Amino acid sequence: MSVLTYKTILKPSEEVLYKDKGSKFYGFAVPVETNKQVKKALDEIKQKHSSAGHFCYAYQHGIEKTYYRVSDDGEPNNSAGLPIYGQIQSFKVTNILIVIIRYFGGTKLGIGGLINAYKTTAKLSLEASQIKTLDILILCKLSFDYKDISKVMRVIQKQQLIIKSQRLEMECEVLVLAKKINLKSFTKSMQAFHLIKVEILND
């Protein structure tokens, strides 16, 4: 079944705090689309909380093809990163980084206690976020003669397409973003004019 929408956050969440036996766990959810954005967000959080003992995180970006990574950052194996990532999966969100930093309170929590603390803080971070459901957008190239420009622009307006770039000469080319959910009706509308070529550039 084709995926038509996805869930994500558009802005960072408020900082959340979870306490257990003196340890403090601060959680942050940040929107990301690339590994470069992940690194930038991690650097900023580490700079703000330079005295924290652990900076554990999980992230996922991509929509139909996703990439993820987890980090325990010195905590026992699989006690931090995977519980955080489990909440990303549970909330069915993508293009997101969740960072949880820990200030040790003097009492060891054990593996079970750590798993619960990181899972709970990740859950609180997601609950503090504004999760949005967005349409998947498909990049399309329209090729047509200049005489057909008014027909093309009418369809673009009716279908609420986003124009990314345009070259309007005798032979025109326009790059547009179309909602995947409307792709079939959009291409049908364009092809009804016969001389207008529609090329899907990413799907």
> Which CATH number is 136-200's, of 3.40.30.10, 3.30.70.240, 3.30.70.20, 3.40.720.10?
3.30.70.240
pLDDT digits (tens, 9 = 90+) for 11-64: 999 999 999 999 999 999 999 999 999 999 999 999 988 888 899 999 999 988
pTM listed for this prediction: 0.81
The CATH homologous superfamily for domain 5-133 is Impact, N-terminal domain (3.30.230.30)
Q: Where are the domains of the chain?
A: 5-133, 136-200
Residues 6+ apart with CB under 8 A from 158: 189
Q: Is the pLDDT of residue 116 over 90?
A: yes
Could you tell me where the DSSP H helices lie in the chain? Answer: 35-48, 81-90, 110-127, 149-158, 183-191
Helix (H), strand (E), coil (C) string for 12-58: CCCCEEEEECCEEEEEEEEECCCHHHHHHHHHHHHHHCCCCCEEEEE
pLDDT digits (tens, 9 = 90+) for 127-181: 999 999 999 888 999 999 998 888 888 888 888 889 999 999 999 999 999 888 8
pLDDT of residue 2: 58
User: What DSSP state is assigned to residue 62?
Assistant: -
